[in-house]
Structure 1
Amino acid sequence: MISTTYLNLDHQKAERVGAHETAREIAHQPHLWLDVLNLIDTNKSQILAFLDPIFEIPNLRIILTGAGSSAFIGEAAQGLVQKNTGKITQALATTDLVTHPELFFMDDVPTLLISFARSGNSPESVETVRLADLHASNLYHFIITCNEEGQLAEYARQHKSNTHCLQLPKEANDKSLAMTGSFTSMLLSVLLISDLKAMISKKEEVASASKYAEYILNNYPPKFQKIADLDFERVIFLGSGPLLGIARECHLKLQELTDGQVVCKHDSFLGFRHGPRAVLNEKSLVVFLFSHDAHVYQYERDLAKSISSDLREIPSISFGIQEKDDFDSILNVSNSSSDNTVGDFNVLVATLIGQLLGFYKSLALGLHPDSPSVSGAISRVVQGVKIYNKH
């Protein structure tokens, strides 16, 4: 019998160290993206029937919302959705909307609330939908969820007149604590639904992103494993534009998977110069999530060169550049294929960097990636949040 291997761990070893689900879910993403692409393409007419009339509303406002990693989907997608739809788009976390709905919802502005939810049972996610209905009179819901049995999916079934629910494949509903495939599949979904009329070109780009991710997952795990054995206590993820949201997700992923033993930070390349750079010390690792835009890369490259010349010799990982540049990185994660045209879907592939680094550092610290929280302080679905009615 052939033993299944994910991320260089055979099934028995992965089970023994509490890493099987996380390893499988990270490794399965390239195939999951193609499944999500096919799902949306198959249901394209239904989605368009719901969204087209909404997108025609002149002063429509789009809010992207979720909690934790689901909120970071909105941060990564915000600019791209706005570019695709031509509608003002904001990423607002449910954790902000629940406490201060009156500061964000505008009753006289037509609003499309796009909710991201792995389980659909987070107290803030459920409450945000209720509050939106109370504070916005012209409101539409588009729910993207990985759990057909969750409360948000049930809400969609009961409010069909102004709500559409995109139920992702069951494989997107991660079993492990850390969101991996659920994050990237929901991010992919919103990028696709915001530009469905360009589906032909999107198919090619998603297929290319899937191949790029497959290449990384087949070739880089031993290198990440080696880096995870290094003695670092801080990791700073840097990204620009949509990749800033991905930097934040990578920050959370590594911090979650190491149970807070590695403290992380994220910032934009330009923003990092304005004070936050003070966090760098001899125990730091910097991860550069480089833009595929040549103009943006010029700004990013300047900071990379500056950090590379730091006398403390702070190590860095680079993602997204094809050729070696005039700064040193201990690892350059790129696709050697010359026909790599992922377009905006490079955000999906960049997310793997935080996932892989977090996964192997978790193992290096003797933790169990499937359930890394030793104290139980963090859980798969947030616990202990009591919702209060505002009078």
Structure 2
Amino acid sequence: MTTALDNWATWAEIHRQPAIWSAWGKALDVDGLRAWIKSVDHDEVWFCGAGTSAYIGDIIAAGVPGLRAVPSTDLVAAPKAFLNGVKPLVVSFGRSGNSTESIGTLDALDALAPDAPRLHITCNKDGALATRGAQGPMKVIVLPEATHDAGFAMTSSFSTMLLTALALFDAPCNVPSRLDALAGHLSTLLPQFRGMPRPERAVYVGAGPLAFAAREAALKVMELSAGQIPALWDSTLGFRHGPKSFVSDDTAITVFTSPDAPTRDYDSDLVAELRAQFPQARVMAVGPGGDIDIPMPFGPTWAAPLCVALAQVTGVEWAGALGLNVDDPFSGQGTLSRVVSGVKLYPVAS
């Protein structure tokens, strides 16, 4: 049945994710790219990006040992604090590949680490990440055009860039089979995510990689609601240390629950505590065996896109209920734009 939501590109982009993942798993040259990564000289692996693209790195670094998240917003602001003698393999994420910080990262690398290898994962074949050359070794992965979201909020771009990086940097696996399985899970889950009552406030909590999935979930709700639904994120154990003061009676609290011990026990204890302390709030466990049962057979890091999809769906529904332009919630305000631009870049002395 067609609904008003079907008129929004963002809604279509959320729902095309299973098909994208399944097809991309078969098209991605995992063996060739892994061989290239192994062949290039580097001391560390950095994941760089801004906003949602930075959270991809946070999720992976929290779930896969030996990797580091370096937001491009931090790197551009103080490049010499990071590029101080190490030789990283810099993995840059970008939906457009044209944000100011994406370009600033390339400028900083050119000045301070020109020989450092680079791997660009982007959704735009015409963006700077796809087209700009480098002095040192470089590979570019351009995702399918369908991931180049037209809407303001990153949805399929986020999830497909994340899964691409996991396919290359997590333990080797049968990538086509795994992405097929995740696509099947999401197809089953998407209808279950619908119809959540719109709250005054939202909270997303998780541990390890799911803490940063919570961060992305909170951002999706704030972006899509143009800030009309304040959203907070934190870690399972960190939430008690002050941020819990954010909760009011009409707060929707989502705890992304881990399949791993002892993490799942801390998650479960927090759910029980919040239900007892805030009986008027809506507390929901989302994960294996939860109120919404999200299977995590490959662990919580690979399940992060499934968890975030909940906030994608509810964010669109809540934005629509608020009467907002879902594809451009800040239309007419001039405060936020789909691609961050206009930030003045300052030269980096080599």
* TM surpasses 0.5: yes
Amino acid at match of 1:144: I
Task: State the percentage of identical aligned residues.
Answer: 31
Match of 2:293 in 1: 334
Shift of 1:390: 4.4
Equivalent AA in structure 2 for residue 173 of structure 1: H
Structure 2 distance, partners of 1:45, 1:67, is 28
Structure 1 residue 358 corresponds to structure 2 residue 315? yes
Q: 1:387 aligns with which of 332, 345, 350?
A: 345
> How is 1:276-355 mapped onto 2 (pairs within 5 angstroms)?
276-322=243-289, 332-335=291-294, 341-343=297-299, 344-355=301-312
* Cα deviation, residue 341, structure 1: 2.7
SS of match in other structure, 1:119:
coil
**1:176 aligned to which of 129, 136, 151:** 151
Identify if the C-alpha distance between structure 1 residues 381 and 24 changes in structure 2 by more than 3 Å, giving closer, same or farther.
same
Count of residues paired in the alignment: 347
Tell me, what secondary structure is at the counterpart of 1:112? strand
2:103 to 126, 130, 134: 126
Give the distance between the partners of 2:51 and 2:303, measured in 1 at CA. Answer: 21
Task: Name the structure 1 match of 2:216.
Answer: 249
1:102 matches 2:56:
no
Could you say if the C-alpha distance between residues 390 and 198 of structure 1 is closer, same or farther in structure 2, counting changes exceeding 3 Å? closer
Q: CA deviation at 1:137?
A: 5.5
Distance 1:159 1:385 in 2: 23
TM-score normalised by L of structure 1: 0.84
- Give the letter for the 2:36 counterpart: F
Larger Rg: 1
Shift of 1:312: 4.7
1:76 aligns with 2:50: no
Contact 1:288 1:317 in 2 (8 A): yes
* Residue 389 of structure 1, CA deviation: 1.6
For 1:386, give the aligned amino acid: K
Q: Aligned match of 2:88 in 100, 111, 122?
A: 111
Flag the 1:33–1:160 CA change in 2: closer, same or farther, 3 A. Answer: farther
Give RMSD over aligned pairs: 2.0
In the other structure, the counterpart of 1:64 is 47
Match of 1:187 in 2: 162
CA distance in 1, matches of 2:297, 2:348: 49
With structure 2 as the length reference, what TM-score do the two structures score?
Answer: 0.93
Q: Distance in 2 between matches of 1:218 and 1:251?
A: 20
1:220 deviates by: 3.5
Equivalent AA in structure 2 for residue 52 of structure 1: K
**Residues in 2 aligned to 1:290 and 1:25: alpha-carbon distance in whole angstroms:** 26
1:51 partner letter: I
SS in 2 for 1:204: helix
Q: Would the aligned equivalents of 2:30 and 2:167 in 1 still touch at CA under 8 Å?
A: no
Question: Quick one: distance in 2 between partners of 1:209 and 1:243?
Answer: 16
Are 1:39 and 2:27 matched, yes or no? Answer: yes
Q: Which moved more, 1:65-74 or 1:342-351?
A: 342-351
Alignment of 1:163-242 (within 5 A): 163-195=138-170, 198-200=172-174, 202-221=175-194, 223-224=195-196, 227-228=197-198, 232-242=199-209
2:47 is paired with a residue whose SS is strand
| In structure 2, distance between residues paired with 1:140 and 1:212 | 35
Contact 1:247–1:289 under 8 Å retained in 2 = yes
Counterpart in the other structure of 2:128: 151
SS of the aligned residue for 2:126 comes to coil
Tell me the CA shift for residue 39 of structure 1. Answer: 2.1
Gaps of 5+ in 1: 324-331
The one-letter code matched in structure 2 to 1:207 is D
Which stretch shifts more, 119-128 or 130-139?
A: 130-139
Give how far 1:209 is off: 1.5
For the residues of structure 1 that align with 2:45 and 2:286, how far apart are their CA atoms? 31
Matched AA of 2:337 = S
- Could you tell me how far 1:89 is from its partner in structure 2? 2.0
Shift of residue 275 of structure 1?
1.4
* Counterpart code for 1:72: Y
Matched AA of 2:10: T
Task: Report the secondary structure of 1:113's partner residue.
Answer: strand
Deviations 1:234-293 (A, max 9, x none): 211101111111111111100000000011110001001111111112232211111121
**1:253–1:89 Cα change, 3 Å:** same
Paired with 1:311 and 1:23, the residues of 2 have a C-alpha distance of 32
How far residue 44 of structure 1 moved from its aligned partner, in angstroms, is 2.9
Partner of 1:27: 15
Query: Is the 1:240–1:291 contact (alpha carbons within 8 Å) kept by the matching residues of 2?
Result: yes
